[in-house]
Structures are given as C-alpha cells and as structure tokens.
A and B are shown apart, each in its own frame.
Chain A
Amino acid sequence: MTSLVDVPASAQTATRPSAPRRRRGQTLPFVLLLLGPSAVLILVFIVLPAVYGLWLSLTNTQLTGFAARDPKFVGLDNYTYLLTSADFLNSLGQTGTFLLFSAIIGQTVLGMVAAILLSRPWIRGKGFFGAAVLMPMVVPEVVASLTWASVLATSPEGTLNRVTNAFGGEPTAWLQTAPMLAIILVNIWRGLAFAMIMFQAALEDVPAELIEAARVDGARAVQVFRHVTLPLIRGPVFLYLLLTTISTVGVFGLVYFLTRGGPGGQTRIAAIYIYERALQFSQVGIGSAASIILLVIVLVLGAVYVRLAKVEV
C-alpha cells in the first residue's frame, strides 16, 4: 500500500472521470489487488464446480463400488439414461408444476395484489400489513417448513384441517394425499413478499397522471390496470419472473424438510432428485448430468423471459 503515496501531485490534480485512462498502467495493480482475490475465489468456488460438474456428467463417476476406483469417460450416456428415465422425467414434470403454480402464478398474482393494495392511499396499517407479508420471506427456510409442518398436520387439530373443517371438510393428511399442493402453498407463502416488493417499486414508477387521465376518461379500475399499468410494469414483471424461476428451480430445503421428496417420490423436484442421485446413491455422474440439464432449462427460460420483456421495450 505504500505505493499509493508515490502518485505525483500533478497527476492527482489532473484527475477527472475520464482521467483513469491516463493512469491505466498504474490502475492494473490496484485492480489486481482489490478485485483479484474475489475473482480468483469466484473462479475456484463457483465457476470451477460448474465446469467440473460438466466434466463429471460425461463420466460414470461413483462414490462407492468398483466404479469409484476408476471412473471412465462415457460421453452422453448419462444424458440418454436421464432423458429416457421415467423417474427423471417425472421429476422434471413435478419441478415444472411446482414452478408454474407456486412462482409464476401464485407468487406473482398474490404479490401483485398485495403491492396494489399497499399502494392504495386509503389503506391504513400499511406498516403492519407489509411486515406481516414480509415475515415468511425473512425467516430461514427450515423454520418456514417447520411452521407448515404443523399447519398441514394430519390430526383434526392441524391448522389447515381446522380451516377446512369450518367449511365442512374432513380432516385430511395433506402431505399424503395432496403433497404437491402442499408444497406449492408453502412456496407461494414464502415468495410472495419478494414479488410484492418488486411490484411496489414498479408501481411507484407508473406516472400518476396517466392513471388519472384514464380515470377521467371513464375507465374502471380493472381497465386502468390492464391497459395502463400493466404495460408499463411489464419489464419489472418479467424481471421478477426470471428471478423467481431461478430461485424456485433451486429450492431444496423447503421441500426436503417437509417431504424428503415423498410420498412415493411425488414431490421429488429436480433439486431433490440431484441430491438423492449424487449423494444417497453415490451416482455422481448421473447427478451431474441432471444438474446440467437443469441448468440448461433455467438458461432457456431466462432467455425466453428476456425476449418477452424486450419485445415491449
């Protein structure tokens, strides 16, 4: 750090926003020092696993059995196995259902409702309601699952059962008879705050004059929303869809804690499938191939969203 003192005074006074170019020769060591460690660590702990995972997916690596001693390169065999495996395809299907209903529909709609309601000037208690909706998002995953374990409890005193009882329903073992529904509910609960936050910010950016103008023209609230607000917040909505897709596809603990992928593999979403294959069955090659497939799907979805968002802008 002593080299900093040596920068001549004349160079200092000449510094302007564009000036760094003049000192390019001297900035490089700074950049290396300040950013270098981060770059190296990111390379080793984030990029390298992805690359290594890709390599592993092309081998028959296992953690146990004879294959563990001597992993062989098997090319695309793992991929063909997975893409023709009913188990894996089921898992992808479940992930898709989970994603569609909890994130794309559930969180977005409810988050939007909350955002709209909390932006209404006539609502009292915004702070309280906002905090209430925020709670599920800020607690740790494991606690979120734990709270729902009680709600979904099988006995008649389970919270959900009491609610359905009030409407004349029978006590149900939710995690047995409707496991996918249960985890969708939990994920909606968990993620709607994030949607609300993003949409609140977006709604604020909608110029009030446009809304007033539409109102004056006689448009009802719903029409105002559809034709004025929605097009203007399209960008943030797609950004949200992208972000929630990424995070929902990566959900593991929330579901694993409650169901461990069961019963009978009905909630074995992709992340759980990968964990089971790679670590419980020690099939690292197959687990890595499944990971890559998952990654590709996320990238494709991301590209789709970006496309759709750009069309308007």
Chain B
Amino acid sequence: MKRTNVVAAFTASVVVAAGLTGCSSGGGDGSDGPVTITIMETKQTNIDAIGKEIPGFEAEMAEQGKDIKVELIADVLTDEQFMTKMTQQLIAGQAPDVLDIGENMAISWSSAGYLAPLDDYLNEWDGWSHYYPAVKEAMTRQDGQVYSLPSGAGVLNLFYRKDILTELGVDTTQPETWDDLIARLVEVKEKTGDTPIVIPAGTAWGGGTWGEGFMPLLGGTDTEFYDTETDTWDLESPGWLAVFELYDDLVSNGLMPVEDLQNPNPWEPTKYEKFPEGEIQVAAQGTWGWKFDWGPDGATPIEGLEEKVSTWQFPGLRSGDEPYGWSSTGGGYAISEDSEKKEAAWEFIKYLSTGEPLAEQLVASGAASARDDLDDVAPYSEEPQLLQAGKDLGESVFVVTGDGAAQIGQAVASATELILSGEADGQQAYDAFVKDATDLLGPTLVKE
C-alpha cells in the first residue's frame, strides 16, 4: 500500500506543477484566479461593520480586474476565548487570512512568528505616511517590524456619571490626584452605599486587567517599567508598587465591586449593568465606550449618553504626576504567516484602512482615527467625541512594551486577585507579583 501512495503523490504533484506552469502567464501569486480570503471577527459591532464593507471591497476589486471574495467568520468570543482559540488555530496552520487583534495578541503572536510582517506592504502604500508617528511607534514590535495595522485608536480614561454625581453634590471637576478622587468616591459611597468605581482587576478579567486597568495606571506615573534597549521588564521600577497600593486603597475603602470582579465575565455586571443603572458611577473605559458599550447600538445603550456621562483624565498618582489620558492602540488588522493569500488579504486591509470604509468602522466601534487625514471624512467628521479623542491622542501617554507582555498580564491579574480577596495588601501583592513575573518571564526578560 505504501507504494501506491508514493505513486499517487508523485502523480498529483506532477499534475499540480503542470497546472501552475500553465497559469503562470499572469501574476504568480494567484491574483488572477478567484481568491477567497477569510477574516474573523469576535465582537458584534465589528461583525456588523465588516459585513457592511465587504460588498464595496469586492466591487472595487472587480473594477481593478481582481476577483477577490471575502468570507466573514463571525464568532462572538471574549478576548480570552479568542486568544486561546486563535493560538490553537495559528499553530495548526488553520487561521483565517486576516485577523482583527488586540495589542497583547499582536505582541504574543508576532514574537512566536505566527503573523506576517507588513513592512514591505506598508512602505509601498501612501496611506502609511498619514499615520501619526506615535501610532507607528506603538505598532513597531521588538524586532523593528510592524505586524498589524491599527483600525483605530482610543484614549483610555475615566468615564463617570456626571448626572448622578451632580445630583449627589459631589465635585465633578477634573481630580488632580488620586487622593482627591478617592475622597470623592468615599463621599459617594457614604451617600449611596454603592461601590462607586470599577477598574479591571483580578484573574477573571483576564488580559484586560493589565491592558485596560493596571498598565494605564502604571504608565501614567512611571514610563520606565519596560526597557526597550535591553528588551527587559524592570520589575523594580517604583510605579509597580505605587499602583498595587492604589488598588489596595480602592479595595480596602470598599470602593470596588469585589465580588463581581471575581466572577467570570466581570465586565458584564459592572460595565453593562451597574454603570448604566447608575450603581457604579466611575469606570475605567476607553473611547469606544461612546459607541461600542453604551452607544445607541452598543451592548447596553444608555439613553441621553452625552448628557449623563462625561470623562476625566486619570488623576496623578504620585506627587508631581499630572492627569493624563492613556493612548490605546497597538492592535489592529494582521495577516497570518501561514496564509497563502497574503496579497489579497493586504488589499482588503488597505481598503478597510482608507477613507469612508475606515470612517464608518471608527464610528461603529467608537474609535479615534490613527490617520491624520480623516477628520473631514463622513461619517467620522460628524462625531465630536471621536474627533476630540483624536486630538487627545496627541497628548496621551503610551509606553511601548515587548515580549513577555502576556506573562506580565498574567502575573498582574493574579496579584490583584490577592488584593480583591483580601489576602494581600499592596506591598504583599507587589512582592507576590515580582516573584511570579520573574518565574514566568524567565531570566532573559527580567532586567537585572
């Protein structure tokens, strides 16, 4: 039986080779024959937004004489589930051609070699020159290459229920320091009995604890926690302890919804139930909150959003710190390394990142533009909050990190979990974190 297999394989390869040589009169990458590329989306708003763009893309490609079809794989998943599932698909070589990913994923997967570097494509494209330098820097990974093109950027800060705080008589001006904000939160707690603030923490929130909670707080007070020259994490940097102590302060004052944070999908009872109901008055949130979470088509719409909700910058943590916004970008569209249709995939990504298609996506998910030439493009031009966020982007803080981000995220999640359960105070959590992170990162990634 073995022999027939070998013969079969040989025959098959001869036939295929003949076929290929026959077709090679056109371009060599299959852009002449019909090509179907796959893209995966895991958030409903993105599924809808991409779904809308596909016909326009296919039409434009047809005009250029290219027959490219797009198949949208829609699977609503949390970021954690997506990370697990897609890692498995990437290893097995079964990943979709185009991926829509977050920063953590970009770092983890590009380091492992699962994503295709985009530099060659980008350098040939005039659109790339319109991206803000800060964004370009954020997209560049450790090895100096870019692996994903951001679909949008956002600013992370604190969203608060202006209507409720005003009603309670609590000061709504920008708090300059966390001490100031904590004092106000205690006031709210005394008046309502609620846990007024939610910031991602603990293991149930997964990678978001680091990406949307801890890192913004850390970066605002200490930008030296990652050393780009040696590609190592400086765990002795003073900001770490300061942020753990902040979490400790918030929890020991009873200001955080500790029980909700320890359960699966903690963003649901907190950001999707209590914040709209007004039982949590302050939430760490990014620009997309205006659309994706609480907008009219969002997960849990808040009526009269613009009147009821406003934003504060993160207050300063240690003495001398100024309030700031945290720039959130670093993810975006990527192409899987094993894809055999990279050219076609790139065409689609280009299409999605230009002009009106881009504007429509940004408005749908509530992100600011990472390009400087989009402000006059409708429907983006008609969204004041997003345009404002775009301006804020220029002044917000960002720290580029590298390999090991996922492990740091894990260690931070476990350490903050100790604070949530009351097993550790700030200092103890920090010590546990240092030990855990050192173990997980291994000696090469920790700064001496």
Contact = CB atoms under 8 A, between A and B. Distances in A.
* Direct interface between A and B, CB < 8 A: yes
Interface residues of B, number: 34
A86 to B, nearest CB: 8
Contact of B87 (A64, A67, A81, A263): A64
A85 B259 CA distance: 24
Nearest to A264: B262
A67 B421 contact: no
Contacts of A121: none
B405 to A, nearest CB: 8
B445 to A, nearest CB: 9
Contacts of B410: 281
Interface in B405-421: 406-407, 410, 414, 417, 420-421
A87 interface: yes
A265 B407 contact: no
B406 A265 contact: no
A63 interface: yes
B83 A66 contact: no
Given A68-B113, A264-B420, A282 B263 contact: no
B263 A176 contact: yes
Interface residues of A, number: 25
Contacts of B108: 64-65, 282
A23 B433 CA distance: 68
Interface string A50-89: 0000000000101111111100000000000100011100
Contacts of A282: 87, 108, 406
A263 B260 CA distance: 9
Contacts, number: 73
A264 B84 contact: no
Interface in B107-127: 107-109, 111-114
A280 interface: yes
Nearest to A82: B439
A279 interface: yes
Contact of B112 (A60, A66, A85, A263): A66
A279 B417 contact: no
A156 interface: no
A65 B202 CA distance: 22
A280 B84 contact: yes
A64 B406 CA distance: 9
A85 B108 CA distance: 24
Interface string B79-95: 01001100110010000
A107 B93 CA distance: 45
B87 A63 contact: yes
Contact of A68 (B112, B203, B204): B112
Q: Which 3 residue pairs across A and B have the least CB separation, nearest first? A: A68-B112, A64-B108, A264-B262
18 contacts: A60-B442, A62-B112, A63-B112, A64-B87, A66-B111, A67-B442, A176-B259, A262-B262, A262-B263, A263-B204, A264-B204, A264-B417, A264-B420, A279-B87, A280-B80, A280-B83, A281-B407, A282-B108
Interface of B: 80, 83-84, 87-88, 91, 107-109, 111-114, 202-204, 259, 262-264, 403-404, 406-407, 410, 414, 417, 420-421, 432, 436, 439-440, 442
Given A66-B111, A67-B442, A281-B407, 11 more contacts: A65-B107, A68-B113, A85-B436, A87-B414, A176-B263, A262-B263, A263-B263, A264-B202, A264-B420, A281-B410, A282-B108
